[in-house]
Amino acid sequence: MATASFDTARRGTGAASEQSQPGLAPAIEKTPEIRPEALETTGPSSLVGLTREALKARLAAIGVPEREQRMRAGQLWHWINVRGASSFDEMTNVSKVLKGQLAGIHTLDRPEVVSEQVSRDGTRKWLIRMPPTGRHDHNRGAEIECVYIPANDRGTLCVSSQVGCTLTCSFCHTGTQRLVRNLSCQEIVSQLVVARDRLGDWPGKTPPKGAFVPVDGSRFVSNIVFMGMGEPLYNVDNVIDAVGVMSDHEGLGLSRRRITVSTSGVVPQFERLGLEANAMLAISLHAVRDDLRNELVPLNRKYPIRDLLQACRDYPGVSNARRITFEYVMLKGVNDSDADARELVRLLKGIPAKINLIPFNPWPGSKYECSDWERIERFSEIVFNAGYASPVRTPRGRDILAACGQLKSETEKLRARARMMLEEGIGAEGVYAGAHDDD
């Protein structure tokens, strides 16, 4: 299904997506290194993260009669997505014969957690390695980052949708990474399963020492945001399927109103996302003028602010109860003036919206600085006085490069020595000490 997404990503871009010569505008998009049709599953495959239909197809492939497939799939679904089973032996109401058939060609394996870092504020970042999908992976598998952000009233998991990112936003660390490929639905959902494993967020499981424990007894992971690596709407097929699995009330059980898909503005996919996923929408806006947004978010050259905001007004289900979130990173002397704040208010008139003001999270090599705190407060005051909620997002996980805009998979940026340290289990302090050495 991902093939259509990649075709959509390139359609209509023309030469603009390939520009890289000095003096020309930066590329809008990157071409994936791995064509999805070239992916080949190797070895036993995991059942974790599959859709219901995909799970039924696995049962059909091993000869389970059609009349039994729905029931058997329901049993497996419960053990995988409600109980968090990691072995077929745990499935007490599944026959020994079926468990033996499944164990011969399938597993309940999760992606490998290569490293875990815990911030001073309780944020956790995992470097996750997916199983190899073909010869191009060199027996290593793709690596992505996933972040858990605890709070008193919720636990938010920030998931990735691509290996790397299609886009080239100039202020975003992840945007400097090459695009390898889309993540499958299974790989997206597996990030939630890994988080629940690591947090003890399954019935009867014990959380690790120091883990955030909700005071009201609710699930540790209550919210999902597609704000990790990648542009979700350039992988819209798999993102929609993943939202369906995550929100299944007989499985992982998250509310669709607690699942937010953040996009830089892939306008043609808005309607489909709203109708098929019924997820909350967040827009990476960051500028109120096309000339500036063309620089910060080059995708704006394809879908300018006027078209983007009209698509927001037309988003299925948008209302005061289902507001669109507009993300606005605060860049010193770039987009943080009083005039910018007033223009932001004018542009959003008539759209049920809230505005998240995000202090810029610095990363090595960036040309931008974070706005002064007084300037952020003044900007927020103008927006708030116009009737919009305008919380200033508290930076979380900055000390482990887990904050907004900082994600970039470690093997993309670490030199060989640091990678070896990572592989051998040396702690995060040792890895990051060598993270920015010259290659």
Q: Is 157 annotated among the ligand-binding residues?
A: no
Q: Is 286 annotated among the ligand-binding residues?
A: yes
Residue 143, H or E segment = strand 143-150
Catalytic residue among 29, 145, 187, 327: 145
Q: What whole-number distance in Å separates Cα of residue 237 and Cα of residue 4?
A: 8
- Check if 312 is active-site: no
Residue 145 · residue 84 · CB < 8 Å: no
Q: Is 158 annotated among the ligand-binding residues?
A: no
The tokens describing 410, both together, are: 């470690």
Q: Is 47 annotated among the ligand-binding residues?
A: no
Residue 146, H or E segment = strand 143-150
C-alpha angle 143-149-150 in degrees, rounded to nearest 5: 145
Q: Is 361 annotated among the ligand-binding residues?
A: yes
Q: Which residues 6+ apart lie within 8 Å of 325 measured at CB? A: 260, 262, 280, 281, 282, 283, 353, 354, 355, 356
For the stretch 337-340, contacts whose Cβ atoms lie closer than 8 Å and that sit 24 or more positions apart, written own/partner, are 338/378, 338/379, 338/382, 340/287, 340/288, 340/379
Burial of 393 (0-12, 13-18, 19+ CB in 10 A): middle
Q: What is the dihedral of CA 408, 412, 416, 419, to 10 degrees?
A: 50
Q: What whole-number distance in Å separates Cα of residue 157 and Cα of residue 149?
A: 6
Catalytic residue among 146, 158, 185, 404: 404
SS3 category, 70: helix
Chain Cα centroid distance, residue 99: 33
- Check if 112 is active-site: no
Residue 117 · residue 400 · CB < 8 Å: yes
Q: Where are the beta strands (DSSP E) in 10-102?
A: 45-46
Q: Is 169 annotated among the ligand-binding residues?
A: yes
For the stretch 366-374, contacts whose Cβ atoms lie closer than 8 Å and that sit 24 or more positions apart, written own/partner, are 366/171, 366/173, 367/170, 368/170, 368/171, 368/331, 368/332, 368/334, 369/331, 369/332, 369/333, 370/330, 370/331, 370/332, 371/330, 371/331, 371/332, 371/333, 371/336, 372/332
Nearest CA among 387, 362, 272, 314 for reference residue 8: 272
Catalytic (active-site) positions:
145, 404
Q: Which residues are annotated as a binding site?
A: 165, 169, 172, 230-231, 262, 284-286, 361
Q: Which residues are annotated as a binding site for [4Fe-4S] cluster?
A: 165, 169, 172
Q: Which residues are annotated as a binding site for S-adenosyl-L-methionine?
A: 230-231, 262, 284-286, 361
